[in-house]
Structure 1
Amino acid sequence: MSRITTVLAAAGLLALTGAASAAAQLERVRGTIDSADANTVTIKTDEGKSATVQLGGAGVVSVVKSSLDAIKDGVFIGTATKGENPPTALEVVIFPESMRGTGEGHYAWDAITDHTAAGGAKVKSAMTNGTVKAESAAGPKVKSAMTNGTVAKTSGASGEKMLTVTYDKDGAKQIAVPPQAPIVAFEPADKAVLKPGAKVFAVVTRDGETLAGKLVAVGKDGLTPPM
């Protein structure tokens, strides 16, 4: 199976991460790879436990560093957020085009590390997966006034960037992305990246004690997947 085909298969499976996730008993495993072979990967979880994930047809991706500059109109992203009015991004993941639609929607997520605040405590979060929408669309004409002067460069008190993320048919969220929020991207990969010591994020289904992998995301060059 090619890398792109594998990732496409993962995208289809991960469509369950929205409203249907409860029925599918999806779980998320975060930690460090202890060992791996052709069929399984054993993870020492962040909680200090050991979890063996059956790879089967799981999609495998690398998680690489990216930047806000890569988040452009039409890009499909996922972002875990805290709070409301507006929600604040704890991280942003840029999906390759082959994974567009993965987990699309807005739904509850679990507690993840807050990289935007000192101390790095875990906070309750929600997940929004959708398409970034440009904020320059023309609106109705209105009465206006003109001010001519010299521009002073400013990025706002906190340096936040506002994103509008659209999902499903009519859903949309405005999300504030602080400069401290990790920005990463998924890249197609294969089982060769499943090396001991690598940081990993896995989406699995549980059947008793058996964990079946749906997606295994491995941090590249020592990166810890922030999602």
Structure 2
Amino acid sequence: MTTPARKTLAGFAAAALIGLTGLAQAAAPERLRGTIETVEPNAITVKTSDGKSERVALADDAKVSWVIPASLDQIKEGTFIGTATKGENPMTALEVVLFPEAMRGTGEGQYPWDEIADTTAGGAKVKSAMTNGTVKAETTGSAAHPKVKSAMTNGTVKADAAGKDGTKTLTVHYGSGQSSTILVPASAPVVTFEPAARTALSQGAKVFVVATRKDGTVTATRVAVGKDGLTPPM
């Protein structure tokens, strides 16, 4: 005979299995890059970098921000940054994002990213990963040769120093004693974010969209809009 305790345990196990299945089937975030073709009250259509047109609904709580130019000179001790990189030992920055203080800690860690354009070496797409963390040191460096494999690093900067060719070296810590050394060539785009309203979403604007896809519908949770024609490099 099955006891009440066994029934309870079996029910718990079944619920856990269903929960795990739901997690496995949850839609992973997508990242879209392109140009806004049309704007609706609660949606935009984006011509993506691969030539497709995607209608993107805007979640009620979707965040919109401007992407504006910044500079390597703004990276000081304690600055929290994000950088897509290519290559290994050391990695080389494809771009750098200076996060506002309100976004400190965003996505801390290291994980796969998308193929993005390497504007430091002709614009061809390269495979990448993302690392978010705290930059603890920066020393003199020299430019690295272009490589195909890449990564993204977000962190907080501790020191600034540049090589003769303008290359800087950042050591980014992202928790549990883990760190990565990043070379930042002078040619790497450097940007930051500033708050924006949905009115920033206009035809012709360049955007970087974080969205989910479910049942054929793409829904944005965040849209970064290049200000004054800027193309978001991330």
- TM-score bracket relative to the smaller structure: 0.7 to 0.9
Aligned residues: 190
Give me the identity figure in percent.
61
1:48 paired to 2:55: no
Deviation at 1:21, TM superposition (A): 11
Per-residue CA distance 1:32-66 (angstroms, 9 max, x = gap)? 01112331111111111111111121111100000
Judged with a 3 Å threshold, the aligned counterparts in structure 2 of structure 1 residues 197 and 25 are, in CA distance, closer, same or farther, namely: same
Match of 2:188 in 1: 181
Q: Which structure is richer in relative contact order (CA contacts within 8 A, separation 6 or more)?
A: 1
Matches within 5 A, 1:36-115: 36-56=39-59, 57-115=61-119
1:146 aligned residue:
none
Answer whether contact 2:108 2:131 (CA < 8 A) is retained: yes
C-alpha distance in structure 2 between counterparts of 1:93 and 1:135, whole Å: 16
- TM-score where L is the length of structure 2: 0.76
**CA–CA separation in structure 1 for the residues paired with 2:24 and 2:75:** 27
Aligned-partner residue type, residue 124 of structure 2:
A
* SS across alignment from 1:192: helix
What is the alpha-carbon distance in structure 2 between the residues aligned to residue 63 and residue 103 of structure 1? 18
8 Å contact from structure 2 (residues 162, 169) kept in 1 = no
RMSD: 2.1
Which residue is equivalent to 2:12? none
Aligned residue number for residue 170 of structure 2: 163
The answer on whether the counterparts of 2:138 and 2:169 sit within 8 Å (CA) in structure 1 is no
- C-alpha separation in 2, matches of 1:205 and 1:168: 27
Does the 8 A contact of 2:137 with 2:172 survive in 1? no
Which protein is bigger by CA-based radius of gyration?
Answer: 2
How far apart are residue 157 of structure 1 and its match?
5.4
Q: Can you list the C-alpha shifts for 1:73-110, whole angstroms capped at 9, x where unaligned? A: 11111111000010000000111111112111111111
**Bigger Cα displacement from structure 2, 161-170 vs 173-182:** 161-170
- Could you list the runs of 5+ residues in structure 2 that have no partner in the other structure? 1-22, 140-160
Tell me the residue number matched to 1:34. 37
Structure 2 partner of 1:10: none
* Residue in structure 1 matched with residue 133 of structure 2 by the alignment: 130
Give 5+ residue unaligned stretches, structure 1: 1-19, 137-153
